[in-house]
Amino acid sequence: MATATTDTARRKQPARSPRKGRPTKEQAQALHAGILEAATDLFTQEGFSTSMDAVATHAKVSKRTLYAHYPSKQHLYEAALTWLSGDLAKPATVLAGDLPLDEALMKFSASLLELYTRPKVVAFAQLIQKESSRFPELDAASRRQFDDNILQPLKSLLDRRPEIDPAAVNTAIMAKVLCSVATAEIARMHAQNALDERENFRFVMKNSIHLILNGAVGTHR
């Protein structure tokens, strides 16, 4: 009788749901992308004062999940900036190939213009400018990303070019000068609401590159 009762009790117990396994690589990537996109949206709309709770709600994840991946808002901000660096790295992709140096640099400059007129990149740059006095670590993080994704690849290109002797020319300064001219002209275009002046941008960059290369190479025509 006891055995029959025990068997009956076992049959009445609800079946255990299968144990959930680890998320797949695709699921993990989708989770991170969702969080970072939500964070980027809120940072650009509300500034760095946006709360982690708001990000979790916007990303449709629990606060526990959010903090498990990003233990502080600073970590989350830097992760969002790194995520955007996928865009920041794109100008460097045009540096490969066998184009003449002046044409390669013109192509690089045009890619910078395309990058810094993208709405999300522009919004994030405005956030950094607005919040840099209160949160200097934001500006420091953005400068690291710019150096890693734009300046260093450009310097590497200049170091490899046979027209330039890295022992005689400071290619790091060359890269900074070129990027400074390009970003200053793009900033002017934004300030004057003149983003359609692309031909003028090309004119400025063509002449600047000519001057830079004449100073570095001496025989550039």
Q: pLDDT tens digit string along 31-55?
A: 988 999 999 889 888 888 889 999 9
- The CATH number that applies at residue 178 is 1.10.357
DSSP 8-state class, residue 218:
S
Q: What is the pLDDT of residue 3?
A: 52
Q: Is the pLDDT of residue 6 over 60?
A: no
* Same domain flag for 123 and 160: yes
- Is 129 a domain residue? yes
Domains held by the chain: number: 2
Give tens-digit pLDDT for 10-27. Answer: 455 555 544 455 778 888
Whether the CB-CB separation of 111 and 202 falls below 8 Å is answered with no
- Is 20 a domain residue? no
Q: Is the pLDDT of residue 1 over 60?
A: no
Alpha-carbon 199 to chain mean position = 26
* Same domain flag for 106 and 132: yes
- The CATH number that applies at residue 37 is 1.10.10.60
- Is 15 a domain residue? no
- Is 194 a domain residue? yes
Q: What is the pLDDT of residue 58?
A: 94
- Is 94 a domain residue? yes
Q: Is the pLDDT of residue 218 over 80?
A: no
pTM summary value: 0.70
Q: What is the pLDDT of residue 123?
A: 82
Q: Helix, strand or coil for residue 127?
A: helix
* Same domain flag for 210 and 102: yes
Q: What is the pLDDT of residue 43?
A: 86
Separation of alpha carbons 110 and 3, rounded Å: 82
Q: What domain range is 65 assigned to?
A: 25-76
Alpha-carbon 175 to chain mean position = 19
- Is 5 a domain residue? no
The contacts found for 87-90 with CB under 8 angstroms, 24 or more apart, are 87/115, 87/118, 87/120, 87/121, 88/115, 88/121, 88/145, 88/146, 88/149, 88/150, 89/149, 89/153, 90/115
* Same domain flag for 68 and 101: no
- Give the tokens for residue 116: 């810094």
Q: Is the pLDDT of residue 2 over 70?
A: no
Three-class HEC string of 57-114: HHHCCCHHHHHHHCCCHHHHHHHHHHHHHHHHCHHHHHHCCCCCHHHHHHHHHHHHHH
Q: Is the pLDDT of residue 68 over 90?
A: yes
By CB neighbour count within 10 A (0-12 exposed, 13-18 middle, 19+ buried), where does 110 fall? middle
Rg (CA), the chain: 26
Percent of the chain at pLDDT > 90 equals: 34
Query: What is the 3-state composition of the chain as percent helix, strand, coil, each rounded to the nearest 5?
Result: 75, 0, 25
Whether the CB-CB separation of 154 and 92 falls below 8 Å is answered with yes
Q: Is the pLDDT of residue 219 over 60?
A: no
Least confident stretch, 132-146, 152-166, 196-210: 132-146
One-letter amino acid of 4: A
Q: Is the pLDDT of residue 221 over 50?
A: no
Residue in this structure with the two tokens 């990149």, named with its chain if needed: 121
